[in-house]
Amino acid sequence: MNRFGHIQFGDRNMLESRIYVGLLDKDTREQMYEIEDYKLRLRGICKTYKAPFSVTFMEGGYFHDDGSWVEENSLMVTLLNVPEDTVYAIASGICEEFHQESVIIVMDIVMNYNVRNRPGNKRSWRSFVRKIRSYFGKQ
């Protein structure tokens, strides 16, 4: 069971996981490959776990532990309805393949809104929101 185990996942509720990975090598602090090469490697990892994914390229920067400013390209991998343990396995595979110490994982419960099968009333949406708020301890 995962941490979202008490929330019913059905036709509308889905687990969205996002994995953020920087592309600088953990030892050399240099990007070793072209962006397309990283995407190809990422595609292979996700196919191994039969996990549907999308990927977004980002540019950014941060302060390293030693206080230096680092500019880095990153990828954000979005996974929908992939079990939590599989998300962690994919994250581990990314760390190994991309030579990283860590990645950032964000998990959220999202709602799939199908215009052909709209909720018949607002109560179903309110029920979903109540479940989310109770999970996160908000009233």
Q: Does 99 fall in a domain?
A: yes
**Percent of the chain at pLDDT exceeding 90:** 63
Q: Does 122 fall in a domain?
A: no
What pLDDT digit, counting tens, does each position of 26-65 carry? 999 899 999 999 999 999 999 999 999 999 999 999 998 8
**Percent of the chain at pLDDT exceeding 70:** 80
Q: Does 131 fall in a domain?
A: no
What pairs with residue 56 in β-bridges? Answer: 76
CATH number at residue 46: 3.30.70.120
What pLDDT digit, counting tens, does each position of 82-114 carry? 999 999 999 999 999 999 999 999 999 988 776
Q: Does 48 fall in a domain?
A: yes
Q: Does 1 fall in a domain?
A: no
Q: Does 8 fall in a domain?
A: no
Structurally, the chain folds into a number of domains equal to 1
What pairs with residue 24 in β-bridges? Answer: 31
Q: Does 7 fall in a domain?
A: no
Q: Does 4 fall in a domain?
A: no
Per-residue pLDDT at 1: 46
